[in-house]
């Protein structure tokens, strides 16, 4: 039991950190183009990354199964090719957490980027900077606090993800049972001591995350 508790905490942190990195790699560019570009499919992209925020996590989880399951749209060719599939692995937990955390980062970062004075970007342009370098050297540094606040929120969301993870990754102790899932199992099996310990750890971690994110929030304002 003790081992399962420790592995749940370790796994959760690992999954949440990786999911945050993935969220940053995908989410920051997406937030930038949503804030600064108008293109065909703008609304569709916005909807796609925001939907997991409003859909029940089980619905998102179901889409992930349809996409990545052994007989899924992408999962079937992957399985045929490599004999490996995502479902029931810790990678599935990372993917589920990434998808669920994405809207929090994209929305926060997009608002921060939109609030950057466009005159400063134009000035950089007239001084001969390409859009790419303007984004990297002017826009993103000025939006830094908003983006960091979004990343912290994304981390918190990834740490707490339950529904989509349960559907795609299952609930395998030591492999995919993150803290929220381990809490669920502990309650189901009547191990209230274990549940309480995990609840305390998760609450403490979430408090830290919120304090850090409000720091960035006030500095951004």
Partner 1 sequence: MTSSGRGRGAPVRRRALAGLAVLLLATSVCGVEATGAQELTLSVAISMKEAVEELGRGFAAGRPGVTLRYNFGASGQLQKQIEAGAPVDLFVSAAARQVDELEKLGLVVPASRRTFARNVLVAIKPADSRVDLAKPADLLDPRVTRVVIGDPRTVPVGQYAQESLRALGLWDRLQPRLVLAENVRQALDYVNRGEVDAGFVYTTDMATRAQGVREAFRPPEDTYQPVVYPVAVVTASRQPALARAFIELLLSREGQAVLARLGFQPPRPGAR
Q: Which two tokens stand for residue 121?
A: 């970007």
Residue 146 and residue 115 in contact, taking contact as beta carbons nearer than 8 Å: yes
Q: Closer to partner 1 at the Cβ: 82 or 218?
A: 82
What is the footprint of partner 1 within residues 83-102 (CB under 8 A)?
Answer: 83, 85, 87-88
- Least Cα distance to 4 among 158, 184, 167 occurs for 184
**Please, what is the minimum distance in Å from the beta carbon of residue 97 to partner 1?**
19
What is the footprint of partner 1 within residues 134-173 (CB under 8 A)?
Answer: 170-173
Residue 11 and residue 201 in contact, taking contact as beta carbons nearer than 8 Å: no
What angle (nearest 5°) sits at the alpha carbon of residue 88, between those of residues 17 and 182?
65
- Least Cα distance to 44 among 34, 56, 57 occurs for 34
Q: Per-residue string for binding with partner 1, 4-43, x by CB under 8 A?
A: ----------------------------------------
Helices of type H across the chain = 2-36, 42-54, 57-68, 75-82, 90-114, 118-126, 131-134, 140-142, 144-160, 163-169, 179-188, 192-220
Q: Closer to partner 1 at the Cβ: 43 or 82?
A: 82
**Please, what is the minimum distance in Å from the beta carbon of residue 177 to partner 1?**
9
Question: Judged by CB under 8 A, which of 7, 36, 46, 70 binds partner 1?
Answer: 70
The window from 52-60, 66-74, 113-121, 132-140 that contacts partner 1 (CB under 8 A) reads 66-74
What is the footprint of partner 1 within residues 173-212 (CB under 8 A)?
Answer: 173, 185, 187-190
Q: Which residues bind partner 1 (CB under 8 A)?
A: 65, 69-71, 83, 85, 87-88, 170-173, 185, 187-190
């Amino acid at each position: 039991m003790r081992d399962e508790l420790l592995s749940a905490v370790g796994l959760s942190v690992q999954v949440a950190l990786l999911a945050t990195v993935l969220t940053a790699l995908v989410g920051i560019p997406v937030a930038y183009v949503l804030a600064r570009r108008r293109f065909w499919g703008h609304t569709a992209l916005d909807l796609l990354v925001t939907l997991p925020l409003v859909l029940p996590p089980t619905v998102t989880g179901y889409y992930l199964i349809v996409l990545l399951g052994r007989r899924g749209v992408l999962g079937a060719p992957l399985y045929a090719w490599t004999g490996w599939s995502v479902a029931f692995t810790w990678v599935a937990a990372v993917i589920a957490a990434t998808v669920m955390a994405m809207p929090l980062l994209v929305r926060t970062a997009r608002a921060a980027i939109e609030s950057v004075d466009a005159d400063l970007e134009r000035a950089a342009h007239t001084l001969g900077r390409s859009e790419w370098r303007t984004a990297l050297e002017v826009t993103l540094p000025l939006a830094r606090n908003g983006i960091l606040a979004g990343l912290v929120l994304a981390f918190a969301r990834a740490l707490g993800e339950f529904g989509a993870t349960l559907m795609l990754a299952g609930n395998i102790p030591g492999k995919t049972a993150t803290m929220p899932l381990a809490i669920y199992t502990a309650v189901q099996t009547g191990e209230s001591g274990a549940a309480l310990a995990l609840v305390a750890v998760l609450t403490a971690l979430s408090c830290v995350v919120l304090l850090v994110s409000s720091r960035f929030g006030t500095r951004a304002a």
